[in-house]
Structure 1
Amino acid sequence: MKLFTLLILFMSITACQAQVSYKILEGTWKIEGKEKYEVWESDNSGLTGSSYGIKDGAKRTTETLEIKEEEGKVIYRATVPNQNNGTTIPFTLNADKTEILSFENPEHDFPTQIIYEPVSDSRVLVKVLGADGKGFSYYMDKQ
């Protein structure tokens, strides 16, 4: 009986420590209170996406995104046309933070951290932070 109890306890602890999958981001997400969106589509090696806004009825892409698994790591890449000379900036998933998706690049000026914190199946809190932990956040709802 003790062995069975220990096995159940071990399985419960292991289940609680499972990493949130980046695949929860697949779909179209709308930033709360704004006409701004993030769209993620699945492909063979991860997700590709973009951020865009609607202004005067026209769609304007502001950022291209991807999340790919490479050499045992999950890498988030963001390319903003008018920043960093158009260079793509990589952020590595911190696998130690199991309740959230925390993509980090301490070498980048800002942001150094992009966090997706699931609130429910259809809502996430996004935090964009600098090295000092300051930045901004917003909610996105799945469309």
Structure 2
Amino acid sequence: MKKISILLLLFVAVSSFSNETGWHTSVKSFHWLKGSWQMQTRRGVITEKWAVANDSTLSGESSITRADGTIIPLEKIELAFRKGHYYYIPTVKNQNGEQPVEFKITTHSEKGFVAENPQHDFPKRISYTLVNADSIHAVIDDGLETPVKKSNFYYSRKKD
């Protein structure tokens, strides 16, 4: 009976560890980003699109559509689980030699996240908050507790 109890305990422990590890390497808790999001600006309509690339990566891209219909790509983004952590990784057109910049996600929940890279010039912090099913508030700033430099982005879900 003692051997069966030990084996049962070992099985439960291994199963729990496997499920927990699988959850942590998945980007499922970020799936609220999936879809197309838009924001009207003076320069045009900014669109951000997100899709599931695989279990550990969401891929995104943003562009601006000018009043004349011209679409200008702005950035490509990955939200990925790498090296034991989640990262927000933008590759911005005409910035950083068009090389990706990693922002480590320092906090996240089913309704938002904060990603930081204190070594980057600007921004140092990027945050997304799901306000409701059809609204996202994104912020980029200089990483200070009281940011001096800060930009807000208010996106609405695009109805297709």
TM-score strictly above 0.5: yes
- 1:142 corresponds in structure 2 to 157
Superposed displacement of residue 139, structure 1? 0.7
TM-score, normalisation: structure 2 = 0.70
Superposed displacement of residue 32, structure 1? 4.2
5+ residue gaps in structure 2?
A: 1-27
Matches within 5 A, 1:118-129: 118-129=130-141
- 2:33 corresponds in structure 1 to 25
Alignment partners' CA distance in 1, 2:86 and 2:151: 23
Alignment partners' CA distance in 2, 1:109 and 1:101: 20
TM-score, normalisation: structure 1 = 0.78
Tell me how many residue pairs correspond in the alignment: 123
In structure 2, what residue type is equivalent to 1:47? L
Superposed displacement of residue 117, structure 1? 1.1
In structure 2, what residue type is equivalent to 1:28? S
- Larger fraction in helix: 2
- 1:41 corresponds in structure 2 to 51
Alignment partners' CA distance in 1, 2:60 and 2:117: 19
Percentage of pairs with the same residue:
28
**Structure 1 residues 36-84: Cα deviation after superposition (integer angstroms, max 9, x where no partner):** 1100111113211111011221221111111111133111111112111
- 2:81 corresponds in structure 1 to 69
Relative CO higher for 1 or 2, CA cutoff 8 Å, sep ≥ 6? 1
Say which SS state the counterpart of residue 77 (structure 2) adopts: strand
Alignment partners' CA distance in 2, 1:72 and 1:64: 22
